[in-house]
Amino acid sequence: MRPMSDPARIVSLYRYPVKGLSGEKLKSVLLEPDATFPADRAFAIENGRSGFDPAVPSWQPKIKFLCLMRNAKLAALETLYDDASGILAVMKDGVPMVEASLKTEAGRSAIEYFFQDFMRGETRGPVKVLEAPGHSFSDVAAKVAHIVNLETVEDLAATIKKEVHPLRFRANIYLTGWKPWSEFELIGKTIRVGGVDMKITKRVVRCAATEVNPSTAERDIDIPEAIWRKTGETDLGIYARAVTAGKIAEGDKAEILG
């Protein structure tokens, strides 16, 4: 199966400043080569000692941090992060829970205190806000963007006869215009997304995080199993590495260069 010859279009863009917490919708984003979306997964909340060293940052598996794969109740929180001040605002059902700067020791302590209490019963030790300049707490070591084809999500939903909220997949770029599942044929190819050329590097293997409904914070659909029953694998979505600098915005075309 090949993607449609007509260009796909970007429907929405998201970043996730704190790993495991809610995403922020963006109108546009400036990308640099071999870089993630700015501030995407820039912070993580350590769940007990992880061995992460901010002085020598290295990739760590998600289970060392608070994450939706293990901690579904995180989806009940709404968060906003301000780049200039470093202030993270955390709300639940529209009610402010905590607001503090991740750039100060006192602010980080306030955030840690909140999550230590909120996640009571699911922590493996003290929680701690982690950050290292230039490091991203992504699910993969490579600095890439995560793309999801909405046609694929709709096809999966039709197969299981249930609504599948696209934000279950926590992608950076959601687009439409390619045939369902055809994005896998682009592995190794280059696409032009808005003003950025991106090389498609690999498929995204889905985990239990996708079981969590972002609207209810409940595990209500076994998404990996549903994908496996549909395709014989558990992949949905692709990773793409920026190879040029440029701007991406809602409504931009995504063209296949070859």
- Could you report the per-residue pLDDT of 41-66, keeping only the tens digit for each? 999 999 999 999 999 999 999 999 99
CB atoms within 10 A of CB 146: 23
Question: Is pLDDT of 5 > 60?
Answer: no
- DSSP category for residue 42: -
Helix (H) or strand (E) segment spanning residue 106: helix 105-118
* DSSP structure string for 197-236: EEEEEEEEEP-GGGGB-TTT--B---HHHHHHHHHSS-EE
Instruction: State percent of the chain over pLDDT 90.
Output: 97
Cβ atoms of residues 72 and 218 within 8 Å? yes
pLDDT at 6: 61
pLDDT digits (tens, 9 = 90+) for 9-42: 999 999 999 999 999 999 999 999 999 999 999 9
Predicted local distance difference test score (pLDDT) of residue 258:
77
According to the model, what pLDDT value does residue 241 have? 98
CB atoms within 10 A of CB 28: 14
Task: Output the pLDDT for position 192.
Answer: 96
Reference 73, options 96, 92, 46; nearest CA is 92
Please compute the mean of the pLDDT values over residues 93-117 and round it to a whole number.
97
- Measured CA to CA in angstroms, residue 98 lies from 109, 159, 166 at distances of 11, 41, 27
pLDDT attached to residue 180: 97
Mean pLDDT calculated for residue range 233-237: 98
Q: Average the pLDDT over 55-80 and give the result.
A: 96
4 pLDDT more than 70: no
* Cβ(115)–Cβ(102) below 8 Å: no
Task: Give the length of the chain.
Answer: 258
pLDDT at position 33: 98
pTM given for the model: 0.95
Regarding beta strands 24-26 and 8-15, do their DSSP bridges make them parallel or antiparallel, or are they unpaired?
A: antiparallel
Specify the DSSP element, H or E, that contains 152: helix 150-160
Mean pLDDT over the full length of the chain: 96
pLDDT at residue 7 in the model: 83
Q: Which domains does the chain have, with CATH numbers?
A: 8-34+141-256 (2.40.33.20), 43-131 (no CATH)
Gap between the Cα atoms of 78 and 89, Å rounded: 8
